[in-house]
Structure 1
Amino acid sequence: MTNIDGDLAFLPLGGTGEIGMNLNLYRCNGQWLAVDCGLGFGGPEHPEVDVMVPDPGFIADRRDKLLGLIITHAHEDHLGAVAWLWRQLKCPVYATPFAAAVLRRKLTEAGLLGEVPLHVVQSGSELTLGDFSIEFVAMAHSVPEAQALAITTPYGLILHSGDWKLDPDPVVGPVTDEATLKRLGDRGVLAIIGDSTNATVEGHSGSEAEVRRALPELIRHLSGRVAVTCFASNVARLESIALAALAVGRQVAIAGRSLRNIEAAARECGYLADVPHFLSEDAAADVPDDNLLLILSGSQGEARSAMSRVAADTHPRIALGEGDTVIFSSRVIPGNERAINLVQDNLARRGVRLMTDDDHMVHVSGHPARDELRRIYALVRPEWSVPVHGEWRHLTAHAGLAREAGAKPLMLEDGDILRLAPGTPQIVDSAPVGRFAVDGNRLVPMTGGVLAARRRMLFNGVVIGSLALDENGRLLGQAQISAPGLFETEDPETARMVAEFTAAVADLPAPLRRDDFALGESARASLRRVVGRRVQKRPLVDVHLMRIDN
């Protein structure tokens, strides 16, 4: 690893070339600054995993030079991994009031609230950490208090955009601070590290106010129960939905832990002041169907979310059926198409009417489309552009637009160390990157043996053979075979495999059958051959040995 003390460099450990798991690092004169620490979801590429976080090993090894972690806003893909990874970072954390309120709840659940030095900073304020001078710039987004970071260093000014849009009426929170962006541009911006999510979308992302105006009329004409699912952290949308419900005589109940946590954080910070407290799931049962609106978590089809359980008719308190309506007030995050389609199919099968942003004004994106990107380049006028926060098609589209706007694009991916100054920016080295799966209360390497075995079991099944032998190596009765996902216990094929496996072990030399290790290896090989003759798969095979004293 090249060690350059006198430079300014940028290193994404997550979130570049992918959606989610944002973890960005800046190096200045040997000191490091982290920006965001988020999670991602498994999706169809990783069906064995629900939630993933980036591997922070590179910066954890250098945490004595890590000055702090700044959170740009309260979305899961930007702060959801803090509670999982902070013990490896051990650094101060900085966030605006709303993001801090959300993060405190996560740290409390992880038993970390008393350990993490969490500092609240205000939009528009400034913070100095070592050779980094950071100005927080208000940006409109689909969550309150989103911030861009103007990072001044001895080598120049970097604008880290975070997630943003140009919304003339964001409903909750201020508009994007274009005056400050222009002021920064007048000073001279070396590079913009910019959001690429909607770089393929022409035009404008739309205003949250459009959704607020459309929802009351849409809901007014519906009968039965109405359920709306949206991103839990979109406080403006929660308020818009609640106000629309009140306007047409419906009470509002929420279901889903993420929604309850966001409501609590929002009210703590002074948001949702014009909306009565939401009903609980239990209280919703006493409200007539035509007077009830439900807000449910799970807009992306998350398997254990309230929306997925309602769609599968497994939710303990909420049921939807013929004559009810579900509104998907959200976009589809790439990779979640299959999960969302499954939820919508399950709802349609139950006779539920579906409404989405394909045919109704129920959602606008929180990310800039191409006209908004052109506008920020006109304001900031950076010399260089580094597209981040998107898959490769998004990064490529962003790079093309940046070039048209007069900036020189630099393409990189997770693990690339981009030296921004001194001299011409270039990738000078690479850092190891990886992912951990969140598995219950632990982190498991995505490339490790645990998940490799789980993937193999998921697609090829698992076969367990059990053998009882005396201390001299004589078999006691027949072997037993369990093959869930491949054969039923009562399947005649299972009985034939048992007989073949028993005979194969009995034919092994007596000295080998007295050696547990050698017997285990040979028995596994025998069982693998027996199963392989019957299925065109390579299941995970294991053998349990029991020694019975004479």
Structure 2
Amino acid sequence: MSHPHPELSAPPPLPTSGMRIVALGGLGEVGRNMTVLEHEGRLLVVDCGVLFPDDHQPGVDLILPDFDYISDRLDDIEAVVLTHGHEDHIGALPYLLRLRGDIPLLGSHLTLALVEAKLKEHRIKPVVTYVTEGDRRTVGGFDLEFLAVNHSIPDALAVAIRTDAGLILHTGDFKMDQLPLDGRVTDLRGFARLGEEGVDLFLTDSTNAEVPGFTMHEKDIYPALERVFEHADRRIIVACFASHVHRVQQVFDAAEEFGRKVAMVGRSMVRNMTIAEELGYLRVPQGILVDARKLADYPDDEQVLICTGSQGEPMAALSRMANRDHSIEVGAGDTVILASSLIPGNENAVFRVINGLMRLGANVVHRGNAKVHVSGHASAGELLYCYNIVRPTNVMPVHGEWRHLVANGALAQATGVAKDRVVLAENGVVVDLVDGVARIVGAVDCGYVYVDGSSVGATDEALLKDRRILRDEGFVTVIVPVDASRGKVASEPEILARGVAEEEDAFVKVRPVIVAAVEEAMGKGVMDSYQLQQVIRRAVGSYVGGKLRRRPMIIPVVIEV
């Protein structure tokens, strides 16, 4: 656990007429989106996603929201509302539903289809309610209205939440593509109607708040894809998110235009696109799609592979291809398209993959050298447009790093929202909406919960620190036999070093230092093994730090003889 703001105390009781908003993830980070709303003792959860680990969290598979705030109030949860089907909004649902399996889930058809497929792997059968834009549902004291928004996955929704405390509009992730591939535009008329009604608190996507102007249309990347397909002499490999149905659709369209066959690689890619096709969100041209194992039956210049790994994930298909650890061997003349943006923190991993592919002779096309990606988030111009339409009383930027939240708050102020009505909060900070005013009233414990193999929540910062030391500095094991009856070291200490780039004789000079330190301690009556281990750790640490300029993990072992 960690407290986000030591200067903030625990929140006071929520006034009867008020609404409480607590983000358990998604603020100050891109991912792990989860917001809890409370009114009249009942809870509504908006999204429940995961965050993917970075280099500072070795060995971690996923990072979950901290459920501790609601763990003793699970029966108070009316429902979980899902804005769309990306992992950073639905990925933590299996772990929440392990705590209470019958929490109702509300979402669009594609979103819930992706959720049900995920939960099936965890042997959880959810209670679901399908909604579409224009629908209204009442759960407990929450009156929910769903509005269409455009994003990089079909069927995304914003949600308006009406209670006696006021009207909240949560955009989810969105942009304002006026020429979307599926013809489903963001419902600005609905936003305006809610603005006329009076939006008391506007929770807005902040991811692109620093980007000026308007986000490009998704269809604008097709000419770049056409050029790549037209000039590629051999295979084309396209890496994108496993949920980006529109991007996959454009690849299928280009393959059809240029007479190529398409195979999909990666379990999540195949699963998601199969669902999208079955529900009618993906149009697969007749005879285009083939099994990946049969793609080699076609000439190289008739092959297209769509795979995962656009973020440099170590176990994803593209990373394994770059490392020559995949059945598909990338070679000279192949063209690889990274059709995605860089998620903050993934830059180094992605560049490693690009370099590995180019070393194998591939031509790599990415956002830096071609228009092969369009963001799914609203840029500053679109956010300004929304603020002017909605005219909210209070604004709370969500979904983004701190710089994104600040930039989004500044945009709100530029359109006339009072500075003291722009609430910049982080995970765990408690915001109350009372009598039309939103303000910070306290904070609750809210930390990272790590999924590490089969364990959930057992990994902590101390363990990760040890892993970072082992990874970066190596370790030194020191075995010291002692004769307690004589108060002496029985024989010369044995030193084993791993991951320390020094010759073995580098530790010769530390042996007498260890002996002297241990015998001095024993001479003072220190006979406890743990205390002697600490003496050894200090002696070796001081020597290694001063002479070798390293700080490896030191593992002392005391053997009584």
Give me the identity figure in percent. 36
Structure 1, gaps ≥5 residues long: none
Over 3 Å counting, the alpha-carbon distance change for 1:529 and 1:378 in structure 2 is closer
Cα distance, 1:72 vs. partner? 0.8
Q: Secondary structure at the match of 1:41?
A: coil
In the alignment, the residues of structure 1 paired with residue 94 and residue 289 of structure 2 have an alpha-carbon distance, to the nearest angstrom, of 27
Corresponding residue for 2:552? 539
In the alignment, the residues of structure 1 paired with residue 310 and residue 278 of structure 2 have an alpha-carbon distance, to the nearest angstrom, of 24
Corresponding residue for 1:528? 541
2:499 is matched with which residue: 485, 491, 499?
A: 485
The reply on whether 1:238 has 2:238 as its aligned counterpart is no
Cα distance, 1:387 vs. partner? 1.0
Corresponding residue for 1:449? 462
Conservation of the 8 A alpha-carbon contact between 1:166 and 1:175 = yes
If asked which structure has higher relative contact order (CA below 8 Å, sep 6+), I would say: 2
Over 3 Å counting, the alpha-carbon distance change for 1:466 and 1:103 in structure 2 is farther
In the alignment, the residues of structure 1 paired with residue 120 and residue 397 of structure 2 have an alpha-carbon distance, to the nearest angstrom, of 34
Cα distance, 1:140 vs. partner? 1.0
Corresponding residue for 1:129? 139
1:314-354 per-position Cα deviation (integer Å, ceiling 9, x unaligned): 22x11212211111111112222222122112222222212
In the alignment, the residues of structure 2 paired with residue 217 and residue 453 of structure 1 have an alpha-carbon distance, to the nearest angstrom, of 49
Corresponding residue for 2:378? 368
- The alignment of Structure 1 onto Structure 2 pairs a total of residues equal to 544
Superposed, 1:29-428 pairs within 5 Å as 29-46=40-57, 49-88=60-99, 91-111=103-123, 113-114=124-125, 116-172=126-182, 174-275=184-285, 278-315=289-326, 317-408=327-418, 409-428=422-441
Over 3 Å counting, the alpha-carbon distance change for 1:444 and 1:470 in structure 2 is farther
- Matched to 1:427, the amino acid is I
Conservation of the 8 A alpha-carbon contact between 1:198 and 1:394 = yes
Corresponding residue for 1:27? 38
- Of 439-448 and 215-224, the range deviating more from structure 2: 439-448
Conservation of the 8 A alpha-carbon contact between 1:487 and 1:494 = no
The reply on whether 1:12 has 2:23 as its aligned counterpart is yes
Q: Secondary structure at the match of 1:25?
A: strand
Over 3 Å counting, the alpha-carbon distance change for 1:329 and 1:433 in structure 2 is same
- Matched to 1:349, the amino acid is R
In the alignment, the residues of structure 1 paired with residue 313 and residue 88 of structure 2 have an alpha-carbon distance, to the nearest angstrom, of 15
- Matched to 1:537, the amino acid is R
Over 3 Å counting, the alpha-carbon distance change for 1:243 and 1:512 in structure 2 is farther
Structure 2, gaps ≥5 residues long: 1-9
1:175-226 per-position Cα deviation (integer Å, ceiling 9, x unaligned): 2223322222222211210001111222221222222354234312211111
In the alignment, the residues of structure 1 paired with residue 203 and residue 214 of structure 2 have an alpha-carbon distance, to the nearest angstrom, of 20
Conservation of the 8 A alpha-carbon contact between 2:243 and 2:272 = yes
TM-score (norm 1): 0.90
In the alignment, the residues of structure 1 paired with residue 484 and residue 427 of structure 2 have an alpha-carbon distance, to the nearest angstrom, of 55
In the alignment, the residues of structure 2 paired with residue 466 and residue 275 of structure 1 have an alpha-carbon distance, to the nearest angstrom, of 67
Cα distance, 1:300 vs. partner? 1.3
1:70-101 per-position Cα deviation (integer Å, ceiling 9, x unaligned): 11111111111222343346533322221222
Conservation of the 8 A alpha-carbon contact between 1:5 and 1:30 = no
In the alignment, the residues of structure 1 paired with residue 557 and residue 96 of structure 2 have an alpha-carbon distance, to the nearest angstrom, of 37
1:422-447 per-position Cα deviation (integer Å, ceiling 9, x unaligned): 25221111121111222112234675
Conservation of the 8 A alpha-carbon contact between 2:60 and 2:453 = no
In the alignment, the residues of structure 1 paired with residue 264 and residue 364 of structure 2 have an alpha-carbon distance, to the nearest angstrom, of 19
Conservation of the 8 A alpha-carbon contact between 1:16 and 1:390 = yes
In the alignment, the residues of structure 2 paired with residue 303 and residue 445 of structure 1 have an alpha-carbon distance, to the nearest angstrom, of 23
The reply on whether 1:439 has 2:449 as its aligned counterpart is no
- Of 243-252 and 497-506, the range deviating more from structure 2: 497-506
Cα distance, 1:371 vs. partner? 2.5
Conservation of the 8 A alpha-carbon contact between 2:165 and 2:434 = yes
In the alignment, the residues of structure 2 paired with residue 199 and residue 517 of structure 1 have an alpha-carbon distance, to the nearest angstrom, of 54
Conservation of the 8 A alpha-carbon contact between 1:472 and 1:514 = no
In the alignment, the residues of structure 2 paired with residue 225 and residue 321 of structure 1 have an alpha-carbon distance, to the nearest angstrom, of 9
Cα distance, 1:364 vs. partner? 1.2
In the alignment, the residues of structure 2 paired with residue 285 and residue 506 of structure 1 have an alpha-carbon distance, to the nearest angstrom, of 70
Cα distance, 1:51 vs. partner? 3.1
Conservation of the 8 A alpha-carbon contact between 2:80 and 2:104 = yes
Cα distance, 1:292 vs. partner? 0.7
Conservation of the 8 A alpha-carbon contact between 1:5 and 1:28 = no
Over 3 Å counting, the alpha-carbon distance change for 1:436 and 1:364 in structure 2 is same
Over 3 Å counting, the alpha-carbon distance change for 1:498 and 1:238 in structure 2 is farther
Cα distance, 1:262 vs. partner? 1.4
Q: RMSD of aligned C-alpha atoms? A: 2.8
